[in-house]
Amino acid sequence: MTIIHNIMEFMINRWRLTLWLVASAPALSAGAAPASWTSAERQAFTVCWDAPGFPEEKSWVQDVVEREYGHRGFLNAVSWRDCSEAPEALLHISIFDQGAHTLALGRNLAQRTHGLVLNFTFRHWSRSCQTNPKACIEGIAVHEFGHVLGLRDALISHPDDPASCGGQSLKHTTEDEDDGGTSVADHDSVMNYCNPSWRGAVLSAGDVAVLKEILGD
């Protein structure tokens, strides 16, 4: 029941977030082409934090991104600074007590304010994470950095998955209909909400294979 409750809680909050994004997120220009980070950008990737504080939580994010994406050569984050000191950083991360999300996929996030939003407190969203915030923060970071590299959300169900999983793909953003994202056809993917362990903070074999294909690594 705990797994089903957590999935239902997440999906309800995701639907609320979608409504908020429709109302408030700036749209891409008409006909905007999907964009991928260049190899040079990925190998000298710069990140900045829009919010002060939370040194421990930030270190969890940095460590898990290095473990899952850095050591595989997908993304070498060479700096994690405050945005006030590094406004030129390629990825801007904000911390709000709301559903974690990105405003776009891949390079369409470049230097965008609130391009990636993470939650470190879980007071109003995914409250079950308060019992083990480190595990949730790491798992959500791995998922969201999948979007940073161009992966889309998915619902890929097995017969024994909760009924809320309908086996159809999800759009992560509400911006451009052709967001250029790539889906991972793997039930064990960190992008698949029907995977009971999607917050496990470990890329699946399918995730790794698709990232190698789309990034040319």
Residue 58 included in any domain: yes
Q: What value does the mean pLDDT of the chain take?
A: 82
Residue 13 included in any domain: no
pLDDT of 23 over the 80 cut = no
In this structure, what are the phi and psi dihedrals at residue 102, rounded to the nearest 5 degrees? -115, 155
pLDDT of 32 over the 90 cut = no
The pLDDT, as a whole number, for residue 71 is 96
Residue 205 included in any domain: yes
pLDDT band at 138 (very low <50, low <70, confident <90, very high): very high
Residue 34 included in any domain: no
Locate 13 and state its tokens: 């909050």
Please state the domain count of the chain. 1
Q: What is the pTM of this model?
A: 0.81
Residue 159 included in any domain: yes
Give the residue, 171 or 99, on which the prediction is more confident: 99
Residue 83 belongs to domain with CATH number: 3.40.390
The pLDDT, as a whole number, for residue 198 is 83
Residue 164 included in any domain: yes
Structural domain span for residue 192? 39-215
The dihedral over CA atoms of 129, 133, 136, 141, expressed in degrees to the nearest 10, equals 140
Residue 90 included in any domain: yes
Q: How far apart, in Å, are the Cα atoms of 154 and each of 128, 151, 187?
A: 22, 9, 9
